[in-house]
Homo-oligomer: A and B are copies of this chain.
Amino acid sequence: MTEPADAHERLSKPRRRKEARPAEIVAAGISEFQEHGFHRANLNRIAKKAGISKGTIYLYFASKEALFLAAIETHVTSVMGESEDALTDVNGTTRDLLTKLLENMYARFVHGEAQALLRILLTEGDRMPGVISDYHAMTVQRGSTLLRKILMRGVDRGEVRPGPALETPHVIIAPAVYLAVHHIMFRGAQTLEFEPFFEAHIDTLFHGVLATR
Please give the residue numbers on chain A whose beta carbons come within 8 Å of chain B beta carbons, in ascending order.
Answer: 37, 39-40, 94-95, 98, 119, 121-123, 125-126, 129, 132-133, 135-136, 140, 151, 154, 158-161, 163-165, 167-168, 170-172, 174-175, 177-179, 181-182, 184-187, 189-190, 192, 196-197, 199-201, 203-212
**CB within 8 A of A210: which of B95, B123, B133, B189?**
B95
Say yes or no: A159 contacts B211, CB within 8 Å.
Answer: yes
What separation, in Å, do the CA atoms of A129 and B94 have in the docked complex?
42
Total copies of the chain: 2
Known: A40-B39, A160-B210, A209-B161. A171 touches B197 (CB 8 A): yes
Say yes or no: B151 contacts A189, CB within 8 Å.
Answer: no
**Set of chain B residues within 8 Å of A136, measured between Cβ atoms:** 185-186, 189-190
Known: A122-B181, A132-B185. A206 touches B210 (CB 8 A): yes
